[in-house]
Structure formats: structure tokens, C-alpha cells
Structure 1
């Protein structure tokens, strides 16, 4: 069996006519020398055509069958390995080759009964399950079937967290902390990935007065926070308000916030941080929070300025505190990010594909931090972003669009390449050695991951805002809002070709305000799940 060069996986067989049992040919393994031919001048008689076919084609067909079977087995092994790899990716979906259809649906209330100022996700990914608060229960769904894997009865008015951040496909947590019960009679439970309760205790109502209202935190913690200092410190002398025009100016002084993290199981303090008040534009003290974490009283008689209000977005890796005069990121270990920045002039993010953080500063630079929060580098770029989804191959890459160019950086801030004359709104994917960028007009650009050279383009489709991206390691699926539903479009990552597109109708939903997202797409164990306030459906 010979393999021709350049034939890829195709095998070429040299067919040689002959008969192993003919005179003059020793049988295999006999050890006997060939017998001399009776008449060397006369060629041996030709066997019948059918006999030749059976002798030659039969063995070849058998070898081909073995080769093809081996090829199928190898391909199946590769596909199984690819699927296992995709299952571990954030935003990884098993197969995006064909348009998605509904595979199963689970109906029931989804999401917390209380909403913390626009910032709660509806669900979390805990182990291999999609976990969601539903009424007085915490429910885990099997992403493959939609069956309930387990549930935990929590009691009245439960609040569980962290549930991730809205609009993000990565809502993985290590464990959930749930607080339930009426004020003064709250019970805390720590829920593990298998549905077991690893800790349960009654909360002391006096701690609310000492440390502030409780809130589930990351890494098995319970957070508490409160404003501190005399109310007389609030200075509104530069603020001017009218009923028609609102308020202008700045709040020059106010009260800071103390945040405490305690071990959810024992109540022992893990850390406490003081967040000082910083001069802030009055529009950041407007009290627009729907259900803020902390609000004691307003320093303004007309109610237009809320100097006491604050809230936080809590994920499993970052606590983002914000409110009038207080804006800071806090790592799960209690390290502050952006403590020296003015409110509204910076923001911090955790790196979803790495283990660190980035802090974008008004000075036009971005600082990079390790997993502990310690600064390790500074990049000359106002905003560094990572892809919404990636296939896990190639170097981790951060991109910046500035001065009419796209620039790539390593996680330590080292510049890699710059492509002048290009710009993009969203770094949507890093798949198959291609950087995929989305622009405001809906156009897509594919750049070579190693060099930054353009490799393909797709013209604009009028969809200027992408809310999510997913990959199966070969294709990239982009999600964009469309009415109350969403639009889906799948691209080949290597060529940019459109594989398919379509609009997904909204699931029935009674959400009629902005306190919760209308939908949330989440990848769990290689399955794409569409979550609304009244149910979950799997797409595949």
C-alpha cells in the first residue's frame, strides 16, 4: 500500500496481477524455494476474468474497507475530542453547522424575586447544571434533557448569588450562597454543585445594624455594606437643581462605604475595605437604582439627589461597587481596583479567558493585574478587550482600537502587532487562528492571529450591536437583539462565509420593565440555552 504525496488522507493501492498459488511461487511462510518453470519461454496461462477480479479486487476491497473503517473511527475520535474541548470553553456549543432548533423547553418562574438595580443575571452555571432561582426553590436543570437534576427548598423571599452579570454568557460559579426568610428571621445556606447544603445558619438581625444589609458574595462569602461618617459631611453647595431641568454641578463631599466579607458558613470576617467618597458629578447621584443595596436617607429635600444610594454588580471574580461618590472594583480577596480614580472616569473588568483583571483609565492607559489584583503591567491603550468567545487555541490576545488602527497586546501588556486603517466596535471571537471583529455597520473583519493581516471581510448587515458570541471550534455564532427576540448568524471562522442566519422568536415573557433582561443565552456543557423570566429552552 503506497501513499501518494499531496493526497491528504487518500490512499493509493498498487494492483499487481498474479496468483500466489501458481507454479513457481512459494506459498507464504512455506520456506520452500520456487520450483523451476517447465517452459520459461511460454507465459503462464491467464486466469479467467472473474477469477482475476476476485483475486485482485477482493483483497483490495477488504483493505479499503479496513482503511475506510479506520478513517471513520479516527474521525469519530477526533469529533469526540473536539466536543470534549468545546464543552470546557466559555461560550462553547457542540455544533453550529446548521440552523438551531428548539430541543426541549422547561416552563417555570426564572430569576430572583428581588432585583438588584439591573445587575442580576437570571441564572448561574454550577458544575454541569444550569441553576436558577424559581419561586421559593433553587432548581438545577440538566442541559442535555431539561430534566430537573435537583432542587433545594429555600423559604420565602430567597436571594441567591452570585448569579453573574446580565448580557454575559459566562455565569459560572463555584458555589451559591442563598439567603431567605423575612427580615429578622433570615437563614443562609451554601449550595454545592451536587445540590447538597454544605453550610446553614441563622443570620443575626443585629449584624444588619452593625455592618449593613446582607448580599450573597463570591467564593462562599456573605457581603455587607453601609455608608459611614456623619451626614453633615455631604456638600451640595455646587449643585443646582430645578424640577424641569434636573441637577447640574458636582457633589464635592459625602460619606464613604465600608464593605465587609464574612465566611458564609461561619460568619467570621474575611476582610473589610473602606471606600472613600470622591468628588463626583451630580448625575451619578440621581438615585436611578430600582432596588439598591443600600439607601438610608437622602441629603436633598427635593429628592433629586440621592447621596446615600449605592449598589454592586457581583460576579464570582469581581465585586463592582458604584453609587454617589463611590466607585471601585473589589477582588474576592478584598483588594481594591481603581480606588484612586474619579467616579465615571474608569472601570474594571475581570479577564474571562484569563485569571487577571484590566482597569481602563481616563488617562488613556489600561493597567493589567494578576489574579490577586496586583498590577503587573500598563498598556498605552484606553481600552483593552478580550474576545466574547474563543476556541482555546493560540495565545491569549487583547485588542485595542485607537488612532484609526487595531492593535493586539499580550496579557502582560506587550504589543504584538498593529493594523492601521482598521477599526471595530467588538472583539467577538478568536477561533481557528483568526481574530474576528464586528463594526458598527454590522460588517465583520477576520485578521490573522499571529500577524494581524486581514484574511477575510464580510459587508455590513445593518446590525450594529452584538450581545453575545459562541463557537463550536470551527464556526462563530453572533447574537444581536431583534425586537423582543434575537437574531442569529453563523460564520465560518477561517473563511468568513455565512453558514446560516435567522431570527429566533421570543419565548413568552411577562417582563415589562428594565429590571431584568428579556433573554439571556448561556452555553452549558456544550448546549446553548435561551433563558427568559418564565422558562428555559435548549437550542441545537
Structure 2
């Protein structure tokens, strides 16, 4: 396999992609000054199957850095007081002292800037959609060929890019593509018979395309499908444990139509969704076609099984909460009770659930059922795109940033990016608009979706990522007038100006940010995207 590129690290092993070279190495000339030169990139080694543990978590590293910063500030203050009380009287003595003071002050400035860079990198690693840098147009940094693998998927596992492929989970370093470990969840014969995996939380999608990077799992929970059901729990070092799930695990009554749904959660949890024991009585409900050939539901379903939801520990089966019951509601409107069979439209009361589950919410819908429960405790939760009435951004540069409230004048479809002082939205008309988070004043509007933006607003943007200074939007090429099947577009957050627009020939599969690095599924496997200058 090709050699991989290593990213620069400091003495603690922390990536310093956002630190200028003249700050990391103050004795060297600034590359931007006369006589300066850009550092050469070190070549990495070949792919390795050596099992490695993930690095220290961002939260602990950030806490340690903050404690160190506090102690450093105190020491500098004491040193300053001591120097003021011992200023030499002679001119030469003062000159020598001032020279030494300049060195101390310069060192403090360099240390402070490096500290800020550390903290910024930690925030970006932990933030949804956070990328260490978007200073340059994306280019392929590494590639792992997965052969004829069918629909590999990227699931962040701590600081590891976990790749689900053909019954296996591969752990890759997102910066270099180095293979850290492999866990075989399914036997090759089971995969050949159609068995598959569902690993990690499911997020909001446009059609079948995920628009948000899933919250990093710790550990990663996988459920087998199309075979004897098992749950497999994998930690960031590649260690795994299994538990068999009973095929009828749950409260589904006879004839309910489907086995329970087992939905992995990012914190080692497993949501179990099943029908309750309420008897089915379709009453006088029936499907008819009007004069225009449109199928409609007439009459009323008297009763039908509702839905039970519980969350348990995936490794042990211990129940965390539940079950919570969502009763069947015959007055819910919609077409989920209608299906098209061989002979035309039919009534289907016990059809399959449409569901999603992540760190915030477990949602499910079917004929007469609409459920939205908070993942933490099962209490009723707001709509799929909201948290406490605010829209949840696709990407932020700080994990502490939460939902964004949009101005009343903003006809908002989604919040794409949020920073401390700016919110970037996608409007119903297909405009990408930025406004001041505090005042609501509009800052800029971009027509990056092209002249037919309003028609494609709901399906043309597949993802958003940010480093706090720029945003990268993943956009459908053909529907927005761009070249190629996919566009990766960089926007300057200060001005809204398009700073780069990269066309890719392959249609969109998946792009995820893992520990501050972009990883992409492509036609031959998985690739890392470099976005530095």
C-alpha cells in the first residue's frame, strides 16, 4: 500500500495543525518572511495492523492544559514582581536586564499562542463537524483500497475512524489512514448469505445520505442483521465483547409484523423498539381511490398495537430506562397506513417503523404512531431538528455550542454552521445566509446553490464542516450547475466569499469529520482529505 503522510505533533503527541511554524519553532525564520522556507512534510510508514490505543481524550487534555495555563500565569506574575524590586541602578545593568526580560516575554507570548492553539484544536476535535483547518482546497492525503466492499460506512469511535465493511470493523487513524486494528463481527459465509451490520447512531438524512457526522461513539455498538441477532461492543483499542439477542426480544405480539428494532447509541447504549400487546381491530377502515386515482383512507381503525421503547446497556442488557409506551393514535393523519401492493393501494396498519436514534433523541413513525423521546431518560423530546426550540447546527467549532435561534425574518430550512458569534443557515429559497448570533443582523448571503437554488434547497446540500474561520459545504454537482457529481465548496465565514470549489467525479457516499480530520468513502474504499495550505 502507499505510504501515508504524518501530521505534525508536539512533545505530548498533540496535533498542531493550526499552529504557525514560527510559533512552534520560534528559533526558525517565519516562512512568510524573507529567508524563511516552508517545512518539509515527513513521510509516514506503510499501513500496519498493530493494535493501538486511542490518544488521551480531548476533555482531559483540555483540562490539563487549562490547569497548566493557570499555574504559568501565577508564576509569571511572581517573577514580574521580583524583577521590579531588583532593577539595577546602572544603565548597563538595566540594558542587560531588559534584554533578558525581552527573552522571557517573548517566550511567554510564544507559550500563550501555542496554548491557545492546543485549546482550539481540542475544541475542533470534539465539535460536531469540526475540522482542524480548512485553509486549503481538499486533496487526497491517503487512500485505503477496500476492493469490492459494499457500502462501507464511517463511524467515529473516539479518535479513531471505524469503518464498517463486509462484516468487519476496521479502526483507522483519520490523519494517516494507518490501520490500527480489525474486528471480525460476522463470518464471511454469513455476509455472503446477506447478513449485515448496523453500527453507531443514525442521524438526520437527506434521502439516504447522512448530512451530519455521527457523534463519536465510546464504545461503538454494532448490531447484526439478517442472522441470529447479536450486539457487539467495540472500544477504541479494538477490544470487543458480544451478547446474543433473543429473536423475540421485546413485547411484540403475535402477528405484529416485525421483530423488534435494536438501535445502537453512542454511549454504549442500545434502544429497543417493539410493538405492545394492544389487539388489532381495523374497524371500518378501508382504502379507496377517488376519481383522479388518488388513494385515500376512509373509516377508522378502532385499535392497534402501540410502540414500546426502552434503552439498555448494550454489553450487559441492564435496563437504563423504560419501557415507555406510545399508544396507537387512529386520528394521526398521513399516508403511512397505505402501501402499494400487487393489486394497488392497501391498508397496512402494522407496517415497518421509520426510525432514527442518536445521542439526543429516539424517533419512530408508522401508521398511527409518532414518537420522539429523549435518549437520556425517555421524556418527550422536541422535533427532529430542534433542541429546546432552537435548531441544531450541522457543524460547530466548539462542542459547547448548542442549538441556534434564527431571526423571525429568516425562512430557515437548516442551520449549517454555528460559531460563537455567527450562524450560517440554509433558507427555503436555497440561499446560504449568515447573521450575527447575538443581534440577528444579516452579514452576508451566498448563492452557492446556483440559479435553481429554490428547487433544490431540500436535497442539494449533503454536509457542512467548519474550522471556525471557513466552512466547507458538500453539494450535489449536477443540480447546482457545478462540474462533476459532487462539489466541495469553501466559504470564508467573514465575507461569504467562495474561496475554493472542488469538483469530484463520483457521486456522494459519505464524508465524516473524525477527531478534526475529514474522511471520505469513495469508489474504491476510504480516503483522507487534506485541507491545509
Normalised by the shorter chain, which TM-score bucket?
0.5 to 0.7
Unaligned runs of 5+ in 1: 1-24, 31-55, 114-120, 289-297, 339-346, 352-356, 358-367, 369-378, 407-422, 508-517
Say if 1:71 and 1:330 are closer, same or farther in 2 by CA, change over 3 A: closer
User: Could you tell me how far 1:394 is from its partner in structure 2?
Assistant: 9.4
- Distance in 1 separating the partners of 2:284 and 2:392: 40
The match for 2:141 is: 103
After TM superposition, the structure 1 = structure 2 runs for residues 272-311 of structure 1, keeping only pairs within 5 Å, are 272-278=323-329, 279-281=331-333, 283-287=335-339, 304-311=346-353
**Equivalent position of 1:22 in the other structure:** none
User: Structure 1 residues 222, 432: closer, same or farther in 2, change over 3 A?
Assistant: closer
1:318 aligned partner: 361
Counterpart residue number, 1:257: 306
Uncovered stretches (5+) of structure 2, i.e. residues with no partner: 1-88, 204-209, 254-258, 479-483
User: 1-side partners of 2:93 and 2:370: how far apart?
Assistant: 85
Rg larger in 1 or in 2? 1
Deviations 1:327-368 (A, max 9, x none): 111233552537xxxxxxxx72266xxxxx3xxxxxxxxxx3
Alpha-carbon separation, structure 2, partners of 1:180 and 1:29: 76
How far residue 322 of structure 1 moved from its aligned partner, in angstroms, is 1.0
Separation in 1, partners of 2:519, 2:164: 16
- Determine which of 384, 388, 397 is the counterpart of 2:394: 388
1:271 is aligned, of 307, 322, 329, to 322
Q: Which runs of 4+ in 1 moved over 6 A?
A: 59-73, 109-113
2: CA distance, partners of 1:217 / 1:337? 19
Query: Offset of 1:182 from its aligned partner?
Result: 6.2
Q: Is 1:474 aligned to 2:516, yes or no?
A: no
Aligned CA distance change for structure 1 residues 233 and 227 (closer, same or farther; 3 Å): farther
CA distance in 2, matches of 1:501, 1:85: 26
Of 246, 253, 260, the match for 1:213: 260
- 1:93 Cα deviation from its structure 2 partner: 0.9
User: Which of 423, 427, 430 is the aligned partner of 2:418?
Assistant: 430
Partner Cα distance (1:128, 1:227) in 2:
39
How many Å apart are 1:242 and its aligned residue?
A: 7.5
Aligned to 1:40: none
Number of residues of Structure 1 aligned to a counterpart in Structure 2: 405
**Distance (whole Å) between structure 1 residues aligned to residue 528 and residue 378 of structure 2:** 39
**Distance apart, 1:60 and its partner CA:** 12
Q: Give 1:149 shift.
A: 1.8
Structure 1 residues 251 and 489 mapped into 2: Cα distance closer, same or farther (>3 Å)?
farther
Alignment RMSD (CA, Å) = 4.0
* TM-score, L = length of structure 1: 0.64
Do the aligned partners of 2:126 and 2:398 also contact (CA within 8 Å) in 1? no
Give deviations 1:356-381, integer Å, cap 9, x for gaps.
Answer: x3xxxxxxxxxx3xxxxxxxxxx6xx
The aligned runs of 1:158-237 (5 Å cut-off) are 158-165=196-203, 166-180=210-224, 183=227, 185-197=228-240, 199-205=241-247, 207=249, 212-218=259-265, 219-221=268-270, 223-226=272-275, 228-233=277-282, 235-237=284-286
Q: State the secondary structure of the residue aligned to 1:87.
A: helix
After TM superposition, give the deviation of residue 429 of structure 1 in Å: 2.0
Structure with the higher fraction of residues in helix conformation = 2
- CA shift at 1:65, angstroms? 9.7
- Match for residue 130 of structure 2? 92
Q: Closer, same or farther in 2 for the Cα pair 1:130/1:242, shift >3 Å?
A: farther
- CA 1:63 to 1:503, structure 2 compared with 1: closer, same or farther past 3 Å? farther
Q: CA deviation at 1:110?
A: 9.7
Query: Taking structure 2 as the reference length, what is the TM-score of the superposition?
Result: 0.64
- Displacement of 1:520 in angstroms is 1.7
Task: Report if the CA contact (8 A) 1:248-1:282 is conserved.
Answer: no
Change (3 A) 1:302 1:104: same
Does structure 1 residue 522 correspond to structure 2 residue 512?
yes
Higher relative contact order (CA 8 A, sep 6+): 2
Match of 2:405 in 1: 399
Superposed, which structure 2 residues align to 1:436-451 within 5 Å? Answer: 436-439=424-427, 442-451=430-439
Aligned to 1:497: 497
Q: For the structure 1 residues 89 and 210, does the alpha-carbon distance in structure 2 shift closer, same or farther, using more than 3 Å as the test? A: closer
Q: Equivalent residue of 1:284, what SS?
A: coil
